[in-house]
A and B are shown apart, each in its own frame.
Chain A
Amino acid sequence: MSTVKIEETPVQDRPILEIKDLAITFTTGAGEFKAVKNAHLSIMPGETVAIVGESGSGKSTTALAAIGLLPGNGRVTGGQILLDGEDIAHASEKRMIELRGSHIGMVPQDPMSNLNPVWKIGYQVRETLKANGRPDGPDDVARVLAEAGLPDARRRARQYPHEFSGGMRQRALIAIGLSCAPKLLIADEPTSALDVTVQRRILDHLDKMTTELGTSVLLITHDLGLAAERADKVVVMYQGNVVEAGPSLDLLRDPQHPYTRRLVESAPSLASRRIQSAKEQGIEAGDLLAPAATGRGRDDVLQVRNLRKVYKLRQGLGQSTDFAAVDDVSFSVKRGTTTAIVGESGSGKSTVAKMVLQLESPTEGQIIFDGVDTAGLKGKELFTFRRRVQPIFQDPYGSLDPMYNIYRTIEEPLRIHKIGDAASREKKVRELLDQVALPQGTMQRYPNELSGGQRQRVAIARALALDPEVIICDEAVSALDVLVQAQVLNLLTELQSELGLTYLFITHDLAVVRQIADHVCVMEKGKLVETGTTDDVFDAPQQDYTRALLNAIPGASLLLPPAVA
């Protein structure tokens, strides 16, 4: 019956890709693992459909199955993948090779690892054209690259991937993916490794190209805001199942499934206000004016004056040029508040953090902590300083020593600073675990047994062990899934109101700034371009660069959050 129906459908109305009841199983050393249990979606010609989900939701696996690139231990165990009416779920490798490139293209996630480092860019474009029977002369290669927005394409084609920036590599990969005008393009987190402003330009360009070519796009992303902004339809996946699917705005405004609701509530790009701790929410507005309890906003705990850091760049034999990573930066941080330093890669924001932490010394300028210039700190004074200022780093997989169990990790600062005896230290570790909402059973575990979010909690507990006054968070939530990120941000907010902590929050993500910061410093190429309260900067940005950053937040302009609307 259904076959008859398909024949009656005019070609234009038939989906270019239709996935029905797809199930995918991986065979691992530990047994069988169902990565995808029930996935279904359909993409009409020219349409863009986004799959949204957290890591492990099965979104990438579904997309890889559609181009026949499941890893060796994975296989389709149920359902159909219909490409233009043809079931390719179990198609032969020969058939898949025919389809890849010319019918289905792919733009992968990480531009750094997806180009072969030993071949010139032009060669990697040319072999694609050649394999799919297209003209592959130098002019064709240059044209393909130029269409993807690479300036000076002819010269660029003769360069190697390592001579390209991340954004340029991603353009080259887009050029390769679209070089043979496929009907369907699978874009797996195509810009998540790039700076926000670059991200926006590349997505705009991708939109333009696929619209011109009439290519359908299957976009895989963890960012609901980005999905809603770029796609006609959004499919939400959770634990291997599609839990909700529908037109982007419908889904965003009226999420039905509890998981989707959770996602919409937590999506940082859609948030419009600072997270408030439960305590603050309970207090009447007028009471907030009494800061006495926490000492909030009483004084500048940290002052940075005309900070400058110059690195010598080696230029071959004995020559070097000066490079100012941080150039004349001044700001101050009020006690008990959160100040965010925001900027893209190369803006110098992390160098500022390192200097504040006394891990690098400034070339010029002063860092004044609690009224004392930190430049002269040595030996015992520096040791005391370290008790009062603590860091939390970005990479949850790198910030805990894999050889130390969680107890030793959190206890180490106490032991180093000779605080208490064994019994009192253990008591303190238990308290700290409670504070970051980890069960006490975590103590005996090792970092590799914890998820990214749990590791960040451990890192927070370790930072809190010495009762510090200031915590420097260097991209502390950037590597986490959206929901986990929201949880950690909430935790940080609660701790701040409880303990009167001061945060210096280094991030590239303005959406996160909105959720957590009271003050913002925007940095670009080593210089401070704008500072102000979060509300002022977001509502009335003074600089073009700040405006560009704000515009680049995906989905920001889409809709007001449900609470306000």
Chain B
Amino acid sequence: MIRYIIRRLLQVIPVFLGTTLLVYYMVFALPGDPIAALFGDRQPPQSVIDALRNQYNLDQPFWVQYGLFLKNLFTFNLGVDFTQQPIAATLARIFPVTAMLAIEALIIQAVFGVLFGVFAGLRKGKLFDSTVLVASLVVIAVPTFVLGFVFQLVFGVQLGWAKPTVGASANWGNLILPAVVLGLVSFAYVLRLTRTSVIENMNADYVRTATAKGLSRPRVVLAHILRNSMIPVVTYLGANLGGLMGGAIVTEGIFNVPGVGNKLYQAVQRGEGPTVVAIVSVLVLVFVVANLLVDLLYAWLDPRIRYE
């Protein structure tokens, strides 16, 4: 297990370096004055331009620039935004909100997706199964931002079950509506994956052998079918964290959640390039680390992985 962890850690480093290099190169090394380009038509105050030049060490050779950029990233020295606020401080304030939202969404998609998926799989071909299958296709087909508006309109405005916009009062309860919107598409994918996986495992030889041993049905389902079906589901949840981040930008924008996604959305709308780059770099770091954690969970679920 230790060897597996070390190997995974070693694999993560080049990926992280490569991804940040890609981002950095695109923004700062392509032809043209990057600072001017980052702002497009807008003319920022000279003090902001000076701060940015200082932040990104643009007078240095490219590799030094990149090295200093990495160093800044790891020391959370992310520079200042348009209004000369330090981005790191802003992030520290808004990150917990997004974390709350993401955790709620993750719980919704994992718990309900697995639950529905298992029941559909165990009742393959029955009415419940076919209903859930069709419904999940419809859910997948409706884009997150459409879903966001519809839910906001129906549950927020017309029914009044939840606040249509979250605003400054972000807490677990207020975040439920955006979390449902954020988690719903992946919920459908988790459901379908769990179902497929359960059906596949039901026909596995070792499940038949487990039954032949005299185990009760609940025991066979829990210890053998469910346990093994979780392996692909966990892999999917890990790979989908990126999708969750993208979804958070849209969802936070619609529901006015004061989180990282919203900040990013506003930065894009206002054309604040440097802020976008800084936040995206942090998110890539989060994504890579989260994926590493999922990999460890995966190795814990499937002993064959550790062994290789």
Contacts and interface: CB of A to CB of B under 8 A. Distances in A.
Given A106-B209, A113-B204, A160 B307 contact: yes
B9 to A, nearest CB: 12
Interface in B198-228: 203-217, 219, 223-224, 227-228
Contacts of A101: 212-215
A173 B217 CA distance: 20
Contacts of B216: 97, 131
Contacts of A132: 213-214
A162 B307 CA distance: 8
A160 B213 contact: no
Nearest to B306: A160
B45 interface: no
Contacts of A105: 212
Contact of A118 (B3, B203, B207, B302): B302
Contacts of B224: 116
Given A93-B217, A108-B205, A127-B219, A117 B212 contact: no
A101 to B, nearest CB: 3
A173 B227 CA distance: 20
A67 B213 CA distance: 10
Interface string A107-127: 010100111111100000001
A185 to B, nearest CB: 11
A181 B221 CA distance: 25
Contacts of B307: 160, 162-163
A372 interface: no
A108 B208 CA distance: 9
How many A residues are at the interface, by size bracket? 20 to 34
Given A162-B303, A162-B304, A116 B228 contact: yes
Given A117-B304, A118-B228, A106 B219 contact: no
B301 interface: yes
A69 B217 CA distance: 13
B206 A113 contact: yes
A113 B205 contact: yes
Contacts of B212: 67, 69, 100-101, 105-106, 108, 177
A538 B235 CA distance: 54
**Interface centre among B212, B216, B304, by most A CB within 10 Å?**
B212
Contacts of A162: 303-304, 307
**Interface centre among B208, B227, B231, by most A CB within 10 Å?**
B208
Contacts of A180: 214
Contacts of A160: 303-304, 307
B217 A127 contact: no
Interface in A168-213: 173, 176-177, 180
Contacts of A31: none
Contacts of A110: 205
A98 to B, nearest CB: 8
A260 interface: no
Nearest to B303: A160
B134 to A, nearest CB: 21
Contact of A173 (B209, B211, B214, B215): B209
A316 interface: yes
Contact of A127 (B208, B213, B303): B213
Contacts of A131: 213-216, 219
A118 B301 contact: yes
A115 B213 contact: no
Given A127-B223, A131-B216, A131-B219, A117 B208 contact: no
B303 A117 contact: yes
A100 B208 contact: no
Interface string B1-30: 001000100000000000000000000000
A57 interface: no
A97 B216 CA distance: 6
Contact of B3 (A69, A97, A316): A316
A128 interface: yes
A179 to B, nearest CB: 8
A105 B212 CA distance: 7
Nearest to A99: B214
Contacts of A485: none
Given A114-B205, A118-B227, A176 B213 contact: yes
Nearest to A102: B214
A98 B3 CA distance: 44
A99 B213 CA distance: 9
A437 B231 CA distance: 48
A392 to B, nearest CB: 29
Interface in A369-386: none
Contacts of B217: 93, 97
A531 B206 CA distance: 42
A108 B206 CA distance: 9
Contact of A69 (B211, B215, B302): B211
Given A117-B302, A160-B307, A162-B303, A128 B205 contact: no
A115 B304 CA distance: 13
B214 A97 contact: yes
A116 B206 contact: yes
A114 B209 contact: yes
Nearest to A105: B212
Interface in A509-537: none
Contacts of B219: 127, 131
**Interface centre among B206, B213, B307, by most A CB within 10 Å?**
B213
**Interface centre among A69, A71, A119, A163, by most B CB within 10 Å?**
A119
Contacts of B223: 119, 127
A113 B203 CA distance: 11
A21 to B, nearest CB: 25
A128 B205 CA distance: 16
Contacts of B7: 317
A101 B211 CA distance: 9
**Interface centre among B7, B224, B303, by most A CB within 10 Å?**
B303
Contacts of A97: 214-217
B190 to A, nearest CB: 20
Interface in B64-85: none
Contact of A114 (B206, B215, B231): B206
A127 B215 CA distance: 8
Nearest to A125: B213
A108 B231 CA distance: 25
Interface string A88-103: 0000010001111110
A118 B303 contact: yes
B219 to A, nearest CB: 7
Interface string B266-308: 0000000000000000000000000000000000011110010
B204 A128 contact: no
A282 B216 CA distance: 64
A119 B204 CA distance: 15
Contact of B213 (A100, A113, A316, A317): A100
A40 B89 CA distance: 81
Contacts of B210: 116, 127
A315 to B, nearest CB: 11
A127 B213 CA distance: 9
Contacts of B215: 97, 101, 127-128, 131
Given A93-B217, A114-B206, A127-B219, A100 B211 contact: yes
Contact of B209 (A71, A93, A108): A108
A105 B214 CA distance: 9
A150 to B, nearest CB: 17
Contacts of A176: 209, 213
10 contacts: A99-B214, A100-B211, A101-B213, A101-B215, A110-B205, A113-B204, A119-B223, A127-B219, A132-B214, A162-B304
- Report, nearest first, the 5 A-B pairs whose CB atoms are least far apart: A101-B214, A100-B214, A106-B212, A113-B205, A128-B213
Given A69-B211, A101-B214, 8 more contacts: A93-B217, A97-B217, A106-B213, A114-B209, A117-B302, A118-B228, A118-B303, A131-B219
